[in-house]
Structure 1
Amino acid sequence: MPRRSSRQSILAFGAAIGLSISSAFQPAYAAKDVALVSGAFRRSIPVSDLAYLAETNKARGFLSDLLRLGKQDPKQVAKLLNQKLELPLVLTSRLMSTRIGDVIIRRVATIIYPLKVPDPSVSVPAIRAGVINGLQKEDGGLSLITFLEAYPANVMEVNLPALLSLIEKAESIADLVKFFSDSPLDGLK
């Protein structure tokens, strides 16, 4: 058993180094759009519009219409986009390679994945790469914007029914933000 654990640690460390080196020498890929999908309905929001909202607290384009129709305060959404999770890079990389990490990523991969490719063999590595590259960019912290800017597909699809199911489990957006910002990893740094 110890041999397997050390092999997994070496593989996780090697993967993190490989991602670091490959991202340094290859052109950077980032999500340009977030596609909101429900059945036959699909509408895209440019990541640049989300970044603009995060910086200015002002929505533009389709995002402005969407927030108005959903009766959402742009300042609250900007706060959510800027919410930063403090995560150590190496520990996060290792945890994502554990069984628990894999289960969590696979659940997230049912909600977000590269456009029209919900297969876990593609979506799980894309999420891992987005997290690791985003943490490298933000030096120990990860926000939704840095994740999107590090996500290795041009369009990230968001499965709205799956997302709404997750949101229903939380009493409010504030509870959801609190859930994701109260890091259980604080004691492991």
Structure 2
Amino acid sequence: MPTLKYSIINYLCHLLFYINSFPIVLSFSGIFGSSFSLAAETIVIRYGLFEQSVAVDDIRKYEETQQVSADLASLLDYLSPKQQQKLLEVLQIKIPLDIVAMNKLVTSETGEKFLNFVALAIARSDNAGIQALRSAILLGAKAPKGLGIISFLEAYPSERIVVNLPVALEMLEKSGWLNEEIDINESCIYIIPK
């Protein structure tokens, strides 16, 4: 039986890989702004010079009501029906986590290695990628229902979160996350409240 620390790291891996793969597997996109706000308003996917973006509000509406905006529809077209269903399931996962324990985890050696790995796929014009991820995880975990993709995005300290598609796809390939058969719920069984 996995330890709680292992389970939380496993969930964070899943969460951040889906944050990366959402724009990644969906489409290609953009550039990371240097302006700081309290929440990401847009996810931008960069593939070379090509960019595509979708508003975080559109993602929230999709998660809550399954209504799809035009921008989101153009991204969802890149996914198979199974991948679209998996994405919706992942968007709906919210896990209440202890902030003190999360802080210890994301500042641990293992947490630092994980954040360094994930930060490679998020394009920034500064060197604050790891700090931004750590902040978004900790602030996102304070959301009333717990940490999820939407609460992570709403806590990300920039107006835009830009995913470097080639790097993210390489990470997903190495991790096996491009396999449609992976069951996110099975991986998170030890920390998802019943």
The alignment's TM-score, normalised by the length of structure 2, stands at 0.69
Which ranges of structure 2 fall in alignment gaps of 5 or more residues? 1-36
With over 3 angstroms needed to count, the CA separation of the structure-2 counterparts of 1:89 and 1:112, relative to structure 1, is same
Offset, 1:75? 4.0
Assess if the C-alpha contact under 8 Å between 1:87 and 1:142 holds in 2: yes
Query: Does residue 147 of structure 1 match 2:152?
Result: yes
Assess if the C-alpha contact under 8 Å between 1:112 and 1:158 holds in 2: yes
Stretch moving more, 78-87 or 88-97: 78-87
Q: Structure 2: which amino acid aligns with 1:58?
A: Q
Q: Structure 1: which amino acid aligns with 2:66?
A: N
Assess if the C-alpha contact under 8 Å between 1:138 and 1:146 holds in 2: no
Q: Structure 2: which amino acid aligns with 1:181?
A: C
Secondary structure at 1:43's aligned position in 2? strand
Q: Structure 1: which amino acid aligns with 2:155?
A: A
Task: Provide Cα deviations, 1:103-138, integer angstroms capped at 9, x if missing partner.
Answer: 10011111125xx42x5x311111111011111123
Assess if the C-alpha contact under 8 Å between 1:49 and 1:59 holds in 2: yes
Among 52, 56, 61, which residue is 2:61 paired with? 52
Q: Structure 1: which amino acid aligns with 2:68?
A: A
Match of 1:175 in 2: 182
Equivalenced residues, count? 153
Spell out the pairing of 1:1-189 with structure 2 (5 A cutoff).
Answer: 29-72=38-81, 74-113=84-123, 116-117=124-125, 119=126, 121-138=127-144, 141-168=146-173, 169-170=175-176, 172-175=179-182, 177-178=184-185, 181-182=188-189
Stretch moving more, 42-51 or 163-172: 163-172
Assess if the C-alpha contact under 8 Å between 1:83 and 1:143 holds in 2: yes
d(CA) in 1 for partners of 2:55 and 2:129? 20
- Higher RCO, Cα 8 Å, sep 6+: 2
With over 3 angstroms needed to count, the CA separation of the structure-2 counterparts of 1:77 and 1:146, relative to structure 1, is same
Secondary structure at 2:67's aligned position in 1? coil
Assess if the C-alpha contact under 8 Å between 1:134 and 1:147 holds in 2: yes
Task: Provide Cα deviations, 1:17-50, integer angstroms capped at 9, x if missing partner.
Answer: xxxxxxxxxxx71000000011111111100111
Match of 2:13 in 1: none
Offset, 1:177? 2.5
Q: Structure 1: which amino acid aligns with 2:138?
A: I
Secondary structure at 1:138's aligned position in 2? coil
Q: Structure 2: which amino acid aligns with 1:175?
A: I
Offset, 1:89? 1.3
Offset, 1:167? 2.5
The alignment's TM-score, normalised by the length of structure 1, stands at 0.71
d(CA) in 1 for partners of 2:72 and 2:113? 32
d(CA) in 2 for partners of 1:63 and 1:31? 16
d(CA) in 2 for partners of 1:110 and 1:58? 32
Q: CA RMSD in A?
A: 2.4
